[in-house]
Amino acid sequence: MCENTSRAYKDVAVVLGRKPSGAGGRPGSPPAVKPPAMLSRGPSPLIPNLGGSAAKNRNEHRSLGHPLATGALSNTLKLLWGNGGVDCRFLLRALNIILSNLVLTPFRLLEVSKWAGAVEKTEVRDAPIFIIGTWRSGTTYLHNLMAQDPGLGFVSTLQAFCPDLCIEGAKVLYPIFQRLLPKKRPMDNMAMALEYPQEEEYAMANLSPYSFYIGYSLPRRMASLFDMLSFEDGCGDVLDAWKRVYLRVLKKATLIKGGRRLVVKNPMNTARIPALLEMFPDARFVFLYRNPYVIYPSLLYTFSRMIGAFQLERVATEEIEDNVLAIYEKMMRAYWKDRGSIPPENLVEIRFEEFEKDSLAAVEGIYRRLRLPGFERAKDRFEKYLASQAGYEKNRYTVSSKTVDRISRRWRFAIERLGYSPPE
């Protein structure tokens, strides 16, 4: 749907902030999101059994800067205005975002004025390699691994979070951004650094209203954002506008990386195959898939953590759970509907469990089947990265039998097609 179809709440706008009607708040008003529990007793399965480093990671992210804070002021104001403001308890967070936008505006204008022409003239000569698959399928691990190839480029974390501050602005602001960036991601133990690969979906949120990750800030719009930005129902004007901004992001990454072919990882692209092929007919795709019974608690935890860190409005826990179920279903159905439009020689599908078992062999297979040069050149770098990840500790979740049954009902089509079974 092109229009906002998110669940309505009876809030009233108060300048930038919204508050529930009535002095004491509306009964049943959705609370600020907390990691939802799927068990009636015992520890929440969405608060993983993590070691000390991960526990420290959770505390570290309490002071994480908002991803919209480094974006365009005009984009932030349009988002807030179109949303009818923010909930009152998040008003200070919104004001901090706006203040940051204002402070960074001169740096943004300098970079845009100096580099816009060069970005526009840049050609994406070699069609990108798109790593796709739902969140929590191992796509970040594959992205980080393939990015070790010196012959490939990527959107860096710096460009993703500071798309108009990553060349000229970085000369002054890089040390500040580096200090603000947590060492690990909010939802797991994956390391973060400004020079590491990152999803370009974050850059889209900084530059435009055409990013699913706006849903972390405005979570009641998450479902409608997915529908709008998967382009399932047409939305021609939105699609054209999205293409313009998206191409600009990829052109800038290509310029920064010296013209190298880009390897791009973005779960939302799983539902955008027709749009990507219109832009890059010879694009290569790597589709990674994983056990849906593992995906559900991990994705629910991820959405809950990210919304909790960045939300500007309240959202009901049940709505997040519904979104996880619906978005996974829509994304997988969209992929299977559209995968036939990808030339068979340009698509590789990998089961996560097989990729995890022998990652180097899996990457070698990707290079061979997609006719990519440079595997032997990058092999030592691949091996070094894999060795550095040998001690990586995954999150562990406990899922109730009731939740297993719910997953089985909603995602049966995917569970059976992918060849997985319910946990014992």
Instruction: Quote the tokens at residue 295.
Output: 């995906």
pTM: 0.85
Q: At what angle do helices 139-146 and 359-369 cross, to 10 degrees?
A: 70
How is residue 304 written in tokens? 């809950």
Q: Are 213 and 201 in contact (CB under 8 A)?
A: yes
Number of helices (H) and strands (E) in the chain: give both, helices first.
18, 8
Task: State percent of the chain over pLDDT 70.
Answer: 82
Name the band, by pLDDT with cuts 50, 70 and 90, for residue 106: very high
Burial of 377 per CB tally in 10 Å (0-12, 13-18, 19+): exposed
At residue 9, what is the residue type?
Y
Residue 65 CB contacts under 8 Å (≥ 6 apart), including other chains: 100, 180
- The CA distance from 156 to 161, in Å, is 9
Q: Say which DSSP state 313 is in.
A: S
Choose between 92 and 398: higher pLDDT: 92
- Name the residue among 329, 320, 210 with its Cα closest to residue 275: 210
Q: What is the pLDDT of residue 310?
A: 93
pLDDT digits (tens, 9 = 90+) for 315-365: 999 999 999 999 999 999 999 999 999 999 999 999 999 999 999 999 999
What pLDDT is attached to residue 187? 60
Report which secondary-structure segment, H or E, holds 17.
Answer: strand 17-20
Kind of pairing between the strands at 284-289 and 347-351: parallel
* Res. 175: pLDDT tops 60: yes
* Mean pLDDT in residue range 28-38: 46
Q: What is the mean pLDDT of residues 36-59?
A: 35
Q: For tokens 């595997």, name the residue.
A: 375
Residue type at 314?
Answer: R
pLDDT of amino acid 16: 45
The answer to which of 164-178, 275-289, 290-304, 310-324 has the lowest mean pLDDT is: 164-178
Cα–Cα–Cα angle for 307, 312, 318, rounded to 5 degrees:
50
Rounded Cα–Cα distance for residues 253 and 260 (Å): 9
Packing angle, helices 91-121 and 236-256, rounded to 10:
70
The answer to whether the beta carbons of residues 12 and 23 sit under 8 Å apart is: no
In angstroms, rounded to a whole number, what is the distance separating the alpha carbons of residues 399 and 250? 39
How do strand 284-289 and strand 129-132 relate by DSSP bridges? parallel
CATH of domain 65-418: 3.40.50.300
> Bigger pLDDT: 392 or 119?
119
Give the three-state DSSP class for 286.
strand
Average pLDDT over residues 287-297: 96
If you average pLDDT over every residue of the chain, what do you get?
84
Domain ranges of the chain: 65-418
CA atoms of 137 and 298, how far apart (whole Å):
10
- At 192 the pLDDT is 72
Question: With contact defined as beta carbons under 8 Å apart, do 93 and 312 qualify?
Answer: yes
SS (H, E, C) 333-357: HHHHHHHHHCCHHHEEEEEHHHHHH
Give residues with Cβ within 8 angstroms of 153, minimum separation 6: 253, 254, 256, 257, 258, 259, 260, 261, 262, 263
Q: Model confidence at 20, in pLDDT bands (50, 70, 90)?
A: very low
Q: What percent of the chain has pLDDT over 90?
A: 71
Structure tokens at 218: 């405005």
- Kind plus residue range of the DSSP H or E element containing 158: helix 157-161
Is the pLDDT confidence value at 52 over 50? Answer: no
Q: Are strands 11-14 and 17-20 parallel, antiparallel or unpaired?
A: antiparallel
pLDDT in tens, 219-230: 999 999 999 999
Check: CB of residue 414 under 8 Å from CB of residue 329: yes
Average pLDDT on 191-210 reads: 91
Give the per-residue pLDDT at 32: 55
pLDDT tens profile 373-405: 999 999 999 999 999 888 766 667 788 889 999
